Amino acid sequence: MTSISVSTTINGDDVEFLCNVDETLLDVLRNRLGLMGAKEGCGTGDCGACSTIMDGRVVCSCLVLGAETQGREVETIEGMSDGRELHPLQVKFIEHAALQCGICTPGFLMAAKALLAAHPDPSEEEIRFWLAGNLCRCTGYDKIVRAVQDAAAEMRGANA
């Protein structure tokens, strides 16, 4: 199989990689670039555990081909914290016990980050619908919603 050469931006860095035509962004991140934070829960775009942000939109990286990222900007969980300083969403997820097993957490954080970028003051209903593409089997979502509400409030305060 002939490989394709791809130039893209991941977490602000220029990245070049070779991939096969049938390789997904998730495969590329995990198997070629060593970015294992995105998880494969289903491979069919149903669980959201592989959520990343591409050009500002949340995508399931299992549904994006690696080759499609040519010239795009991709954000993954590995780029969420600023060095040692965690993003407010990361802090609030820990504080609110919004994770148990944690396998869905990177995907939820990506989706929540995109939500707060679009809606800095979301209602509970908006949060619940924005996060409806991410499955969590441990928490029943209660503490996840509360963590996002709290992070949103803190980020609004910081920006005020």
List of residues contacting another protein (CB under 8 A): 1, 20, 35-44, 46-47, 49, 76-78, 80-81, 86, 90, 93-97, 99-106, 109, 125, 127-129, 131-146
User: Least distance to another protein from the beta carbon of 46, Å?
Assistant: 4
Buried b (16+ CB within 10 A) or exposed e, 27-65: bbbbeebebebbbebeeeeebbbbbbbbeeebbbbbebb
* DSSP assignment letter at 117: H
Question: Which of residues 6 and 148 has its CB atom nearest to another protein in the complex?
Answer: 148
- Contact status, residue 148 vs residue 95, Cβ threshold 8 Å: no
User: Least distance to another protein from the beta carbon of 31, Å?
Assistant: 9
- Contact status, residue 80 vs residue 108, Cβ threshold 8 Å: no
End-to-end CA, the chain? 53
Question: Which of residues 69 and 139 has its CB atom nearest to another protein in the complex?
Answer: 139
**Percentages of the chain per state (helix, strand, coil), in multiples of 5:** 40, 20, 45
Question: Which of residues 7 and 142 has its CB atom nearest to another protein in the complex?
Answer: 142
Question: Which of residues 25 and 77 has its CB atom nearest to another protein in the complex?
Answer: 77
User: Least distance to another protein from the beta carbon of 44, Å?
Assistant: 6
Question: Which of residues 7 and 22 has its CB atom nearest to another protein in the complex?
Answer: 22
Tally of helices (H runs) and strands (E runs) in the chain: 5, 5
User: Least distance to another protein from the beta carbon of 68, Å?
Assistant: 19
* DSSP assignment letter at 64: S
User: Least distance to another protein from the beta carbon of 17, Å?
Assistant: 16
